């Protein structure tokens, strides 16, 4: 909850105007694209795409619920937003799917490998774009792809600290770092804004991302 | 076909047994939360296998609910561990025994330091 | 839908479910065999997501030939979406807390750039500041 919450007046006399203003301020925080996305989830949840008489009402109700959620639990606005490029996005999905399968087999190999327990490293990866959304997407993709878990995010410097399973030497950590940076590049090319792509291309090709 | 369904059930049962073993062994509460997570995932797979065997879509909402509850449980356990650990830390290091309101703010400060 | 197509879809579905169940088992074995919390995090999050996605595909292939409508497909897509979005977040939060509270085994980490960074910030203090930095 936000800080404004306790200031909501209790008395009915002054309550009218100020309460209305508070509600209007909250309504100003509703972000239309996010609300539309939530409406989509709602409609999928209640089988609205199979056309029935009540489908339209379902969509309207879903939109109402999303607006209500965003009024009650306001979120900070989403930075510069994102631009979907369908072709690159499809390629990204395919890339992530292939990586998931390959890396799952790798983890399986580590699980069943005899001998001493597997060792790993924590590596630092400095991302090249400045957008929060890109940071979130990159860390989610890194975590879904096996063999790497994001341990810590250093926000202002946008450094991700990634725990890499089985990276036991310089070559292994370097490969993991390059993989993470390539993933970031693919994500930015798929959903990044023009500014993000410019950031990506302006950044020097870095070998060692951390510190 | 039937043999394969039985094989699926056996694999899932073994997975559940192993994660139960970790649940009992687990040195810390985080290990236990993690093994409960895997247990829930095995349950999800099992319910999914049931739906597939019997061609019965009526259990699918259970999958939806379980997949969300697993997330909530492991996040709340982690938050609890972080706060408790921090409380002990403050009580141990600060001479004045400062606790309570310092908890959440301290967590934030530490986050920025680290 | 023709009989043969349904049979082929059934076989693919059984294969998907079999691989999904096997990945669940891998997660279980990894949970028992891996030495520290962060490594266990890998087995818990990863084969689990892929396994569940495969199982969802299997369910879809088994149920699709029936006249059941969009409801099932929508629910399956939502389950997959929630799983892919939430498992990494939960894994990150848990491993972050694990690192912060010192449940890391240094002998299993070959290089630890986060510890170096923390030490740098603190002005040369050793990375493990509290005494409980063990298994």
Q: Greater confidence, A154 or C109?
A: A154
Neighbours of B65 (CB within 10 A): 10
Closest-CA residue of B relative to C85 is B71
| Whether pLDDT at C83 is above 80 | yes
C104 Cβ under 8 Å from any chain B Cβ: no
What are the backbone dihedrals phi and psi of residue A46, each rounded to the nearest 5 degrees, phi first?
Answer: -105, 25
A49 Cβ under 8 Å from any chain C Cβ: yes
**Would the CB atoms of C114 and A122 count as touching at under 8 Å?**
yes
The single-letter DSSP state of residue B54 is H
Report the predicted TM-score, pTM, of the whole model to 2 decimal places.
Answer: 0.76
Chain A neighbors (3+ CB pairs < 8 Å): C
pLDDT at A211: 37
What is the DSSP secondary-structure string of chain A?
Answer: --TTGGGS---HHHHHHHHHHHHHHHHHT--HHHHHHHHHHHHHHTTTTS--TTHHHHHHHHHHHHHHHHHHS-----SS-----HHHHHHHHHHHHHHHHHHHHHHHHHHH--SSPP-EEEEEEE-S---HHHHHHHHHHHHHSTTEEEEEEETTTTEEEEEEET--SHHHHHHHHHHHHHHHHHHHHHH--HHHHHHHHHS---S----
Tens digits of per-residue pLDDT, A168-203? Answer: 777 878 888 888 888 888 888 888 777 777 777 777
Q: In the block, which residue shows the tokens 């609300």?
A: A35
Mean residue pLDDT of chain C comes to: 76
Q: Greater confidence, C87 or B89?
A: C87
pLDDT at B33: 85
Report the gap between the CA of A43 and the closest CA in chain C (Å).
9
**Would the CB atoms of B18 and C20 count as touching at under 8 Å?**
no
pLDDT at A4: 41
Closest-CA residue of C relative to B89 is C130
Give A 131-190 residues with CB within 8 A of chain C: 139-140, 142-152, 154, 159, 161, 163, 165, 167-169, 173
For C89, the 3-state DSSP assignment is helix
B88 Cβ under 8 Å from any chain C Cβ: no
**Residues of chain B with C-beta less than 8 angstroms from the C-beta of C103:** 28, 30
A11-15, A120-124, A165-169, C66-70, range with greatest mean pLDDT: A120-124
> How much is the average pLDDT of C91-107?
77
Say how far apart CA A104 and CA C48 lie, in whole Å. Answer: 10
A vs C: CB pairs below 8 A = 147
Select the residue of B11, B31, B71 nearest C21 (Cβ to Cβ). B11
Cβ neighbours of residue B12 closer than 8 Å, sequence gap 6 or more: B42, B45, B46, B49, C21, C24, C25
**Would the CB atoms of A119 and C109 count as touching at under 8 Å?**
yes
Chain B neighbors (3+ CB pairs < 8 Å): C
**Would the CB atoms of C121 and B113 count as touching at under 8 Å?**
yes
Cβ neighbours of residue C110 closer than 8 Å, sequence gap 6 or more: A119, A120, A121, A167, A168, A169, A173
Residue whose C-alpha is closest to residue B13's, from B37, B52, B43, B33: B43
Closest-CA residue of C relative to A173 is C111
**Residues of chain B with C-beta less than 8 angstroms from the C-beta of C76:** 60
> How much is the average pLDDT of C58-73?
71
pLDDT at B10: 92
Q: Greater confidence, A133 or A93?
A: A93
Give A 52-91 residues with CB within 8 A of chain C: none
C57 Cβ under 8 Å from any chain A Cβ: no
Q: Greater confidence, B51 or A119?
A: B51
**Would the CB atoms of A117 and C84 count as touching at under 8 Å?**
no
Tens digits of per-residue pLDDT, C18-55? Answer: 999 998 888 888 888 887 788 888 877 777 788 888 98
Q: Indicate the pLDDT class of residue C107, thresholds 50, 70 and 90.
A: low
**Would the CB atoms of A122 and C39 count as touching at under 8 Å?**
no
Predicted ipTM of the assembly: 0.75
Q: Indicate the pLDDT class of residue A12, thresholds 50, 70 and 90.
A: very low
Say how far apart CA A28 and CA A79 lie, in whole Å. Answer: 16
pLDDT at B100: 34
Tens digits of per-residue pLDDT, B47-106? Answer: 988 888 888 778 888 888 888 888 888 888 888 888 877 766 555 444 333 333 333 333
Select the residue of B1, B14, B22 nearest C25 (Cβ to Cβ). B14
Tens digits of per-residue pLDDT, A55-83? Answer: 788 888 888 888 888 888 877 776 666 67
> How much is the average pLDDT of A142-163?
80
| Whether pLDDT at B17 is above 90 | yes
Tens digits of per-residue pLDDT, B19-28? Answer: 899 888 878 8
C18 Cβ under 8 Å from any chain B Cβ: yes
Choose the weakest-confidence range: A131-135, B41-45, C105-109. Answer: C105-109
**Residues of chain C with C-beta less than 8 angstroms from the C-beta of B12:** 21, 24-25
> How much is the average pLDDT of A140-147?
80
pLDDT at C72: 67
Tally the domains of chain B: 1
C45 Cβ under 8 Å from any chain A Cβ: yes
Say how far apart CA B88 and CA B86 lie, in whole Å. Answer: 5
Q: Where are the domains of chain C?
A: 3-122
Say how far apart CA B105 and CA C92 lie, in whole Å. Answer: 21
Q: Indicate the pLDDT class of residue A29, thresholds 50, 70 and 90.
A: low
Scanning chain C, the segments in alpha helix (DSSP H) are: 3-33, 37-63, 70-100, 113-122
A119-133, A159-173, A187-201, B2-16, range with greatest mean pLDDT: B2-16
């Amino acid at each position: 909850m936000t800080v404004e919450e306790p200031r909501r007046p209790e008395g009915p006399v002054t309550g009218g105007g100020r309460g209305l203003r508070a509600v209007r301020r909250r309504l100003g925080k509703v972000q239309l694209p996010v609300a539309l996305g939530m409406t989509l989830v709602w409609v999928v949840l209640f089988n609205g795409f199979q056309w029935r008489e009540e489908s339209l009402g379902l969509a309207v109700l879903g939109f109402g619920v999303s607006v209500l959620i965003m009024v009650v639990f306001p979120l900070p606005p989403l930075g510069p937003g994102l631009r979907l490029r369908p072709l690159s996005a499809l390629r990204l999905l395919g890339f992530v799917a292939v990586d998931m399968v390959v890396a799952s087999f790798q983890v399986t190999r580590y699980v069943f490998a005899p001998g001493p327990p597997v060792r790993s490293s924590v590596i630092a990866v400095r991302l090249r774009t400045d957008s929060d959304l890109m940071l979130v997407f990159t860390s989610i993709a890194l975590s879904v792809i096996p063999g790497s878990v994001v341990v810590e995010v250093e926000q202002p410097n946008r450094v991700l600290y990634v725990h890499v399973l089985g990276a036991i030497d310089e070559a292994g950590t370097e490969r993991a770092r390059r993989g993470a940076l390539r993933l970031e590049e693919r994500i930015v090319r798929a959903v990044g804004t023009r500014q993000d792509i410019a950031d990506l291309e302006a950044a020097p090709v870095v070998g060692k991302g951390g510190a | 076909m039937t043999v394969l369904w039985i094989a699926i059930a056996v694999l899932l049962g073994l997975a559940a047994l192993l994660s139960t073993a970790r649940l009992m062994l687990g040195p810390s509460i985080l290990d236990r939360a993690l093994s409960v997570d895997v247990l829930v995932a095995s349950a999800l797979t099992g319910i999914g296998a049931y739906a597939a065997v019997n061609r019965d879509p009526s259990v699918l909402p259970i999958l939806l609910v379980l997949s969300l509850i697993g997330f909530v449980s492991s996040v709340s356990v982690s938050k609890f561990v972080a706060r408790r650990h921090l409380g002990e830390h403050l009580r141990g290091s600060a001479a004045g025994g400062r606790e309570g309101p310092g908890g959440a703010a301290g967590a934030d400060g530490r986050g920025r330091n680290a | 839908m023709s009989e043969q197509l349904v049979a082929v879809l059934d076989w693919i579905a059984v294969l998907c479910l079999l691989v999904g169940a096997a990945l669940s088992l891998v997660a279980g074995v990894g949970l028992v065999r891996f030495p520290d919390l962060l490594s266990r995090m890998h087995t818990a999050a990863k084969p689990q997501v892929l396994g569940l996605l495969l199982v969802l595909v299997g369910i879809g292939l088994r149920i699709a030939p029936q006249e059941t409508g969009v409801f099932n497909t929508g629910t399956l897509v939502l389950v997959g979406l929630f799983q892919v979005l939430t498992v990494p977040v939960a894994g990150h939060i848990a491993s972050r807390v694990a690192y912060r509270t010192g449940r890391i085994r240094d002998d299993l980490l070959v290089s630890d750039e986060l510890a170096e960074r923390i030490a740098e910030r603190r002005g040369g203090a050793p990375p493990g500041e509290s005494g409980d930095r063990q298994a």
